[in-house]
Structure 1
Amino acid sequence: MTDPTNERKIEHIRAIERDPDTDRNARWFDRILLTNRALPEVALDQIDPRVRFLGKTLSFPLLISSMTGGDHELVRSININLARAAECCGVAMAVGSQRVMFTHPQAEASFALREHAPSTVLISNVGGVQLNYGFDLDKCQRAVDVLGADGLYFHLNPLQEAVQPEGDTDFRGVAEKIGAVREHLSVPVLLKEVGAGLSPADIALGLEQGVTHFDLAGTGGTSWSRIEHHRRHDSSDIGVRFQDWGLPTPLALKQAAAFQDRATLIASGGLRDGIDMAKSVILGASLCGMAAPLLKPAMESAEAVVEAIERLRREFITAMFLLGTPDISALFRNTALIVEER
């Protein structure tokens, strides 16, 4: 019998392949202009972009954002290639939703990635709303154990669920249930939107429940609303109507600054190069997530993903050099480096 949760993973990838406009490419970060130091007083080969995250050192602040998982050779190959590249390059990786493991046990293999990435940061992923649909602490811990994860994302996707033909839309009491899981889970919990942005009110609710890590995941990149539009079998255009709904990532970062002493922020949603990463760190991000730029390389090979990551690293280090910032501490929250916002 076909498992609809498993089949949905492949449908998502095919929608992205067929429709380039699922990547909204809004380029919100282009509106931020940075200074240029003609006398940077640092040597390019001495720039140190390393960061600490979830107790481990990363070579630079890149997170391979959540993409996929399931019982299909394509998604297994994508995840293995991403994990091997993450380990090779010393960057973090988050997996796609692991809900499919519990409806289709054969999908576990696509998430058993620790053997391919023995030392770097790996983050598990389940839907927060699923705590209202049968998910519990034991299942969350199982998701962590299969991956050998350093943390667990609860992804928050009310827009996607509202547009999805079979969406789960009862979000009542989800924050409190996340807090209850956090108290007993073996690893830290992180909250993540999926492309519409976490608001200050969302961060405040998370902090009340003891969560301190937030992936803002704003608009500007992949639109899951538009992706779900392609899965509908009726005449509704609601997925297209809401394809750009939400907070642009730079704005979400600025709004989250009020919590900077209590929250660790991840910037994702519309980042496309190392310059966007530098701007995100200046705005308060401790880590920068990207998915769309790495999906096609991941469908090819681990080596292709490594090549894409190394390009991002060179861009990020070059931006640090041109800003005269020798290490991450000189870049982080240094908004004096912003000279204009258009």
Structure 2
Amino acid sequence: MTRSERKIDHIHHALGHERNFYNHFDDVNIVHQSLARLDFNQLSIDTKVGELNLSSPLFVNAMTGGGGEKTEQINRDLALAAKETGIGMAVGSQMSAIKNPEERRTYEVVREVNPEGIVFANVGSEADAKQANEAIDMLKANALQIHINTLQEMIMPEGDRDFTDRLKKIETIVKEIEIPVIIKEVGFGMSKETVEQLYTIGVRYVDVAGLGGTNFSRVENRRRDKQLESFNNWGIPTPLSIIEATHTAHDRGDFHIIGSGGIRNGLDGVKAMVLGSEAFGMAGNLLRVLLEDGKEALVAEICHIHQEIKIAMMLLNANTVRDFKGKPYVLYGRTKEWKEQRISSSL
């Protein structure tokens, strides 16, 4: 199977597999504040994440590209929706275009239709600095995502097996690239130990991309003759991964956390920010709306998410979305148990 065929295969399986019945965002309850003091019509969801000035804390997270005309059309429509709603957008891994220039068009279309937007380039952790710069130049990108996907590669029949030089490559890219470099998981979350190690090599942006959304263990297992099903629930759920990352970075003002993975709506995004993230990404749910109902439905969905964010700002007296961080919340169930064992016991 070619790389471009695999990209289409991933889309098919990602949309087709069932999500986990248990979503850890349901274990997070934000404490309601009755006495509103804000004017809804004056609220703005503009925010800043390190060097990135964003019109919204929501962005379209990495999904596709490199799969020929079908992925080009998907990226075109995603970029048009991002332009219309003022949100950022990350593309899928550009390694396919770096290795096959015929696939460049499937990514370049994003910048073509949204010339002033915030766009994240994306490479795998196997990329070197030259390839990272090529991905950035391809999109005139505002930031670079480096995705780490060890378990996905292990289950992927044709996946990589040698990761001995990955951390060094990440460190080199972070030192040489001038725009923000975001280290991103792909649905398995980041532990506090991982975040600490990344910080020591110079990383200042992470997208924890936790368990709860598109499950690449399940996706790749559906492409195997003999499935490794025991790993289908492997990973750290997104709320817990944010808590772990925040615990590590709590006194480091130069460290920025993005939450993604299993975020279903604007309220889940708000919960992610209450827990400690500064922005949140959505991928599979937005792709499903686009492919099933079209671009205008996707635009309407993004606007609805923005409305949910602003309502939460009213209910919590948050003048800006950055004010969500530190608002009171209560944890239940598995999430509460994890935090008590992993975080509270270490204080």
- Aligned with 1:111 (options 107, 114, 136): 107
- 1:124 is paired with a residue of what secondary structure? strand
- 2:344 equivalent to 1:314: no
Q: Residues 216 and 117 (structure 1 numbering): CA distance in 2 closer, same or farther, change over 3 Å? A: same
C-alpha deviation, 1:54, in angstroms: 5.6
> Partner residue of 2:184?
192
Question: Quick one: distance in 2 between partners of 1:60 and 1:338?
Answer: 23
CA distance in 1, matches of 2:49, 2:249: 18
1:9-62 deviations in Å (ceiling 9; x for gaps): 000111134x341x3353211111112222212222222221023644323200
Q: Distance in 2 between matches of 1:26 and 1:122?
A: 32
Residue 325 in structure 1 maps to residue 340 in structure 2 = no
Q: Which of 32, 35, 38 is 1:39 aligned to?
A: 35
Matches within 5 A, 1:1-342: 4-17=2-15, 19-21=16-18, 23-24=19-20, 26-53=22-49, 55-112=51-108, 113-128=110-125, 130=126, 135-232=127-224, 234=225, 236-238=226-228, 240-257=229-246, 258-260=248-250, 261=252, 262-299=254-291, 301-332=294-325, 334-335=326-327, 337-342=328-333
Give 3-state SS (helix, strand or coil) of 2:184's partner: strand
Q: Secondary structure at the match of 1:37?
A: coil
Higher mean C-alpha displacement, 266-275 vs 255-264: 255-264
Q: Is the 8 A contact 1:86 1:93 kept in 2?
A: yes
User: Percentage identity across aligned positions?
Assistant: 34
Q: What is the alpha-carbon distance in structure 1 between the residues aligned to residue 34 and residue 128 of structure 2?
A: 55
SS at match of 1:265: strand
Structure 1 unaligned blocks of 5 or more: none
Letter in 2 for 1:281: M
Structure 1: 4+ residue segments shifted above 4 A: none
For the residue of structure 2 that corresponds to 1:179, the secondary structure is helix
Q: Which moves more between the two structures, 313-322 or 272-281?
A: 313-322
CA contact (8 A) 2:7 2:67 kept: no
> For the Cα contact (< 8 Å) 1:175–1:205, is it kept in 2?
no
User: SS in structure 2 opposite 1:165?
Assistant: coil
Q: Which stretch of structure 1 is more off in the superposition, 295-304 or 281-290?
A: 295-304
Q: 1:205 to 1:56 in 2, by over 3 A?
A: closer
Two-structure CA RMSD over aligned residues (Å): 1.7
- C-alpha distance in structure 2 between counterparts of 1:183 and 1:76, whole Å: 32
Distance (whole Å) between structure 2 residues aligned to residue 218 and residue 16 of structure 1: 15
Aligned pairs, number: 328
Q: 1:71 to 1:252 in 2, by over 3 A?
A: closer
Please give the TM-score of this superposition, normalised by the length of structure 1: 0.91
